[in-house]
Chains A and B, each alone.
Chain A
């Protein structure tokens, strides 16, 4: 105190008094800071909505290890030849230039929850007042005996869009008439419940277009039933007779293991052999979620259904495939919807903006064949301690051609809409 003049002391005291009336984060520095880990349907949307709706009052940093983002949704349409790879790949440029978001390209390796910092793989650290964790899924490689990350270069999973998707398409394009493709479908819960079955449709579409109608897609499923099963199987019968075979555990007797180099899948009752394998293992929340201590025994992150706030740490929100979202499926649409609820609550926390009751929605469209898409959708709200479905619909069998065609056009419109909503 002796070093200060009366005048300096006065200024100092005045500043402190003003600071005391402010929340902690404003005392520490200028603007409150939000860091978002993961730049997909959840993370990009959250970053954009927080930046947009706070009008610059919140400093937003988005961390993703890629320069460009390839969407998992519509990646099956790339496999089917309906979309180019470029058309499902997006840049973060507008989020930076028009929304003032700082994009950090790199891998977040850990979270120091006590210090409220994210540590990057290069050793740097980024402080936050609120953290959004939206890392998507990681694959549990050894959930399929005989599979590994290395072997995914031979038998792609293509369950994270990017080079894996391109590898899958290249292998599909090399299939000859009479050959078999083996798909090992994942157990619940996993990203994109109708995804494996839309993919099988797209594979059959490519083969049929080339006249390879004696080639086959065999789906070996650990689940006794799957999403939109009735309408998918109706479509397969109509468009691809004899080209797609689906076997649940009561037929194959359980998937015991695979030999990627031999191209075989060993099941309880039989051995299947294929010229190409697509192995989609069991899934868990992206690694950073577990290392930050946000996951429970299920491998995913429990959240408060009314806000998407982690039940473990009130400064952290977990959205998208990494969270336990009750009745909501793991989908890009769900992640985008959850991001808006999280963003609203984060703005409420940091700048005191109004917080309205949480509402969630999801719709998933799946393409079976050109001009024939099906859909499933639901509304959700917090209830019974989880995000609960309040109402839903699903495509029916024997629907009119015009409706299925309209579904497809709607899905194309949705893709343009959600990607604009994510990336600006």
Chain B
């Protein structure tokens, strides 16, 4: 039980969640998606950049969300989670309407060190609308092998990535180099069709870039950008982007 204390979801689960659910029920009765809440399909677009859903869903930047409810946090063996997400699951965190509500309010506060690059959804009505919609939308079965588009970190990729991860990147140089990234990946951390890279942990950032170099990831634009980066530059970019907070 001692390990539970490290996570806010446990400490605050009662006082925070009861009123939220209560409000959610009242609002639910008033309109299909709650008073003032946006359409859940529109809200989900912010998730869809990184998460697939529906029959045959695969992993993208984030894990697929099929059969999400009742899933242990960090519980899919074939997705590369952050250490802290795995640890939260090991400590007993299971995804339910209640825990998702708390997580989505401010993901970075709820599980410190997790790598989901999303600032959070402040409006309780929006969260309720989204979560209720997800509860139905995530019922289908995922793809038999959801890892096709994702990656194993074995072999040469992890070897080269490790070398870079041991370098001290210069964040000032990274900030200049980042000018090239933020033409597409928004510096605010907002995502409209291109994934957010703001606040990505260094290991994930560096490994991903090496996956482009090794054709594990296939986007031509990214392959071209990465092919022109030295190890020092990758380290600098990782240092810079990992230091940012999504807005």
Contact = CB atoms under 8 A, between A and B. Distances in A.
Interface of A: 49, 53, 333, 336-337, 340, 344, 354, 356, 359, 361, 363, 375, 377-379, 381, 390-393, 395, 409-414, 416-418, 420-421
A409 B48 CA distance: 12
Contact of A337 (B180, B185, B192): B180
B184 to A, nearest CB: 4
Interface stretch (B13-21, B65-73, B224-232): B224-232
Contacts of A354: 172, 176
A393 B224 contact: yes
23 contacts: A336-B183, A337-B183, A356-B177, A361-B225, A375-B220, A379-B228, A391-B227, A393-B220, A393-B221, A411-B193, A413-B191, A414-B193, A416-B194, A417-B182, A417-B183, A417-B184, A417-B186, A417-B192, A417-B194, A418-B183, A420-B188, A421-B186, A421-B187
Contacts of A411: 193
A413 B172 contact: no
A413 B193 contact: yes
Contact of A359 (B187, B191, B228): B228
A377 B184 CA distance: 13
Contacts of A344: 176
Given A413-B194, A420-B186, A392 B224 contact: yes
Given A361-B180, A361-B225, A375-B220, A416 B193 contact: yes
Contacts of A412: 192-193
A43 to B, nearest CB: 15
Contacts of B44: none
Given A354-B172, A420-B188, A410 B221 contact: yes
B172 A414 contact: no
B176 A356 contact: yes
B4 interface: no
The 7 A-B pairs at the shortest CB distance, nearest first, are namely: A413-B193, A413-B194, A416-B192, A340-B179, A417-B184, A412-B193, A379-B228
Contacts of B183: 333, 336-337, 361, 414, 417-418, 421
Interface string B186-216: 1110111110000000000000000000000
B223 interface: yes
B173 interface: yes
Interface residues of B, number: 27
Interface of B: 172-173, 175-177, 179-180, 182-188, 190-194, 219-221, 223-225, 227-228
Contacts of A421: 182-183, 186-187
If over half of A's interface residues share one DSSP class (helix, strand or loop), that class is named, otherwise mixed; here it is helix
A417 B225 CA distance: 16
Contacts of A340: 176, 179-180
A409 B193 contact: yes
Contacts of A392: 224
Contacts of B220: 375, 377, 393, 395
Contact of A378 (B173, B186, B223, B224): B224
B187 A49 contact: no
Contacts, number: 85
A102 B237 CA distance: 31
A375 B220 CA distance: 9
A79 to B, nearest CB: 21
A232 B71 CA distance: 46
B177 A359 contact: yes
B186 A379 contact: no
Given A49-B179, A363-B221, A410-B193, A416 B186 contact: yes
B228 A418 contact: no
A416 B228 contact: no
Nearest to B49: A413
A375 B194 CA distance: 15
A49 B175 CA distance: 11
Contacts of A410: 184, 193-194, 219, 221
Given A49-B179, A337-B179, A414-B194, 6 more contacts: A375-B221, A391-B227, A392-B224, A393-B224, A413-B193, A414-B184
Given A354-B172, A417-B183, A391 B224 contact: yes
B177, B180, B186, B193, most chain A CB atoms within 10 A: B193
A71 B96 CA distance: 44
Given A413-B193, A413-B194, A416-B190, A377 B182 contact: no
A55 to B, nearest CB: 12
Nearest to A412: B193
B190 A420 contact: yes
A392 B225 CA distance: 10
A389 B180 CA distance: 15
Contacts of A356: 173, 176-177
A53 B191 CA distance: 23
Contact of B184 (A378, A390, A391, A413): A413
A413 B227 contact: no
Contacts of A378: 224
A336 B183 CA distance: 8
B49 to A, nearest CB: 8
Contacts of B188: 420
A418 B176 contact: no
Given A337-B180, A421-B182, A377 B224 contact: yes
A416 B186 CA distance: 8
B209 to A, nearest CB: 14
Contacts of A359: 177, 180, 228
Contacts of B190: 416, 420
A390 B188 CA distance: 30
B232 to A, nearest CB: 11
